[in-house]
Amino acid sequence: MRSVTMLSAAALALAACSQGEETKEPASASASATAGATTPTGPVSREQVYAAAGEGPEAFVRTIYAQYVNGGPQGEQPAPGQDPMFSRTMNALIGADVRAANGEVPTLNYDPFCACQDQGDFVVTATAVAQSDPNTAEADVAFTNMGEQKNLKLKLVREGPNWKVDDIVDGTDSLHDTLMAVAEAAG
């Protein structure tokens, strides 16, 4: 376990040095680095992402981002608030956001996994996944999209046999908290 954590720290430090920016490892004794994990190549379907959700938090996160590296998400998007990649709570908040918009543009009007409207020339530079207990985990993902460096934190929960995204934090901005404020205001 200690060697995995040390490998994680070394890989993250290397990625941070090569990018000229600091990347932080999640606080946990169980973190994993980009090296050594299998990531799908070629176009990645939503079904592959859903299947990876049952394999574990690291496989799930890697498969989510393999979509972007390999040309972007494939297939038809589920209706807002009904995406199997998100937790029940996050799906409820996304659905409430769309209803509160009342036909206008909702608050979540971008792809939260890349924090972007458009995606291209996408490269994942570092990934660290830390599982704090059997049902919760966090993933720090560093990537460049069209030359812009981004660092996101995905908060994951296990619902039944599958891992789900319960929040996406961009810097200090929590998608969960933003959508909760919209839902509370809609009352």
* CB-count exposure of residue 53 (10 Å: 0-12, 13-18, 19+): buried
Q: Is residue 147 part of a domain?
A: yes
CB atoms within 10 A of CB 177: 13
- Within a domain: residue 58? no
User: Considering the domain boundaries, does residue 9 fall inside one?
Assistant: yes
Give a yes or no: residue 74 inside a domain.
no
In a domain, 55, yes or no: no
Tens-level pLDDT at each residue, the chain (187 residues): 333 333 333 333 333 333 333 333 333 333 334 334 567 777 899 999 999 999 999 999 999 999 999 988 888 889 999 999 999 999 999 999 999 999 999 999 999 999 999 988 999 999 999 999 999 999 999 999 999 999 999 999 999 999 999 999 999 999 999 999 999 998 8
Q: Are 98 and 90 in contact (CB under 8 A)?
A: no
Domain range for 24 is 2-36+81-186
Asked if residue 89 is part of any domain, the answer here is yes
- Region label for 171, one of left (φ > 0), alpha (ψ between -120 and 50) or beta (otherwise): left
In a domain, 42, yes or no: no
What does the pLDDT read at residue 75? Answer: 84
Strands (E), 70-183: 122-133, 136-145, 148-159, 162-170, 173-174
Please give the model's pTM, rounded to 2 decimal places: 0.79
Q: Note the Cα 14 to chain centre separation in Å.
A: 21
Whether residue 159 is contained in a domain is answered as yes
CATH code, domain with 96: 3.10.450
Provide the number of structural domains found in the chain. Answer: 1
